[in-house]
């Protein structure tokens, strides 16, 4: 029984997956929380740090189905209304293509105290783990972050690939392995050089990280030959060529 005062929900970013890249606050909250709702993106090492009795998987279910966002929203409210301190643990940063904004609004609409705890976004840390700086004075001074996995209920894509191709900057696509053929073709049709370097970083900072490189013209076949699967990050632009330049000396991952 509670006194009717709701608990608090923390929307926590876990970073790209290496436990050493958790923020101090994120680690403390994982230790203090009554319940942790997580999906698979934080990675097995971080999820393994959470006692089994206080974690709930709201990611992929048996049979390939995903937990509906509506269920997760409702579960967060239910747990908080029971007086629990709840962590909603997300990969990367909670609001960079992580639905943190949706959960924040839902909690506020239901009168639940909520706090966002930023995490190191995979959009930057993933390329860095492969020796790729997303900006570089010799190549580009801008970077655009794009989701390759939009809401399937949308009538049309909100991503303007023509405009992105025209920026001349780095493009970082999250959750874009499956639709790689579509958006690489869209960028070529928009005038981007087919020889533009492209890198795919699978499971960045995880023990089984894999990197594959090619060009806008070849990266789909490179993906297939290397067996790159989600979760993976796509980096498009001259900076992607830095991987081959530094890989022999790159340490850490």
pLDDT of 204 > 70? The answer is: yes
Cβ pair 239, 140 in contact under 8 A: yes
pLDDT of 156 > 80? The answer is: no
Q: Spell out the domain ranges in the chain.
A: 8-117, 122-249
What is the per-residue pLDDT for 1? 43
What is the per-residue pLDDT for 72? 96
Domains 8-117 and 122-249 share a fold: no
pLDDT of 54 > 70? The answer is: yes
Active site residue 39: yes
What is the per-residue pLDDT for 154? 53
pLDDT tens digits, 68-125: 999 999 999 999 999 999 999 999 999 999 899 999 999 999 999 999 999 999 999 9
Cβ pair 56, 77 in contact under 8 A: no
- Of 39, 90, 93, 192, catalytic: 39
Could you tell me which CATH class the domain 122-249 is placed in? alpha beta
- The pTM (predicted TM-score) of the whole model is 0.90
- Whether the link from the prior residue into 24 is cis, omega within 30° of 0, is no
What is the per-residue pLDDT for 186? 95
Split at pLDDT 50, 70, 90, the class of 59 is confident
Split at pLDDT 50, 70, 90, the class of 66 is confident
Q: Closest Cα partner for 12 from 79, 86, 74, 88?
A: 88
For the CA atoms of 184, 140, 160, 210, the dihedral, rounded to the nearest 10 degrees, stands at 40
Active site residue 1: no
- Report percent pLDDT > 70 for the chain: 94
Pick from 112-116, 155-159, 173-177: least confident: 155-159
pLDDT of 177 > 80? The answer is: yes
Q: How far is CA 73 from CA 9, 101, 104, 123, 199, in A?
A: 11, 11, 9, 25, 35
Please tell me which residue, 247 or 202, carries the higher pLDDT value: 202
What is the per-residue pLDDT for 253? 79
73 vs 222: CA distance, rounded Å: 38
Kindly write down the DSSP assignment for every residue of 101-137, as one continuous string: HHHHHHHHHTT--EEEE----HHHHHHHHTT--S-BT
pLDDT tens digits, 160-170: 999 999 999 99
Instruction: Specify the residue for token string 């006692």.
Output: 51
- Of 90, 93, 175, 192, catalytic: 175
Active site residue 175: yes
* Exposure letters 78-117 (e unless 16+ CB within 10 A, then b): ebbbeebbbbbbbbbbbbbbbbbeebbebbeebebebebb
Across 176-188, average pLDDT: 96
pLDDT of 139 > 90? The answer is: yes
30 vs 46: CA distance, rounded Å: 10
pLDDT of 198 > 80? The answer is: yes
Note the CATH number of domain 8-117: 3.40.1010.10
228 vs 212: CA distance, rounded Å: 8
- Of 40, 54, 57, 60, catalytic: 60
């Amino acid at each position: 029984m509670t006194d009717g005062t709701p608990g608090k929900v923390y929307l926590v970013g876990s970073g790209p997956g290496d436990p050493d890249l958790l923020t101090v606050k994120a680690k403390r909250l994982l230790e203090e929380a009554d319940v942790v709702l997580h999906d698979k993106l934080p990675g097995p090492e971080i999820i393994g740090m959470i006692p089994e009795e206080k974690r709930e998987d709201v990611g992929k279910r048996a049979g390939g189905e995903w937990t509906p966002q509506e269920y997760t929203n409702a579960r967060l409210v239910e747990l908080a209304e029971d007086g629990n301190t709840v962590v909603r643990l997300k990969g990367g940063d909670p609001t960079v293509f992580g639905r943190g904004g949706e959960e924040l609004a839902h909690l506020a609409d239901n009168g639940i105290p909520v706090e966002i705890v930023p995490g190191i976004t995979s959009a930057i840390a993933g390329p860095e783990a492969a020796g790729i700086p997303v900006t570089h004075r010799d190549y580009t001074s801008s970077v655009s972050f794009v989701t390759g996995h939009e809401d399937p209920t949308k009538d049309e894509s909100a991503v303007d690939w023509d405009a992105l191709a025209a920026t001349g900057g780095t493009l970082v696509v999250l959750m874009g392995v499956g639709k790689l053929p579509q958006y690489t073709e869209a960028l070529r049709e928009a005038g981007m050089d087919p020889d533009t370097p492209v890198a795919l970083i699978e499971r960045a900072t995880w023990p089984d990280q894999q990197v594959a490189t090619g060009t806008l013209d070849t990266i789909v076949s490179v993906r297939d030959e290397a067996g790159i699967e989600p979760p993976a990050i796509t980096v498009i632009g001259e900076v992607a060529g830095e991987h081959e330049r530094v890989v022999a000396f790159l340490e850490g991952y």
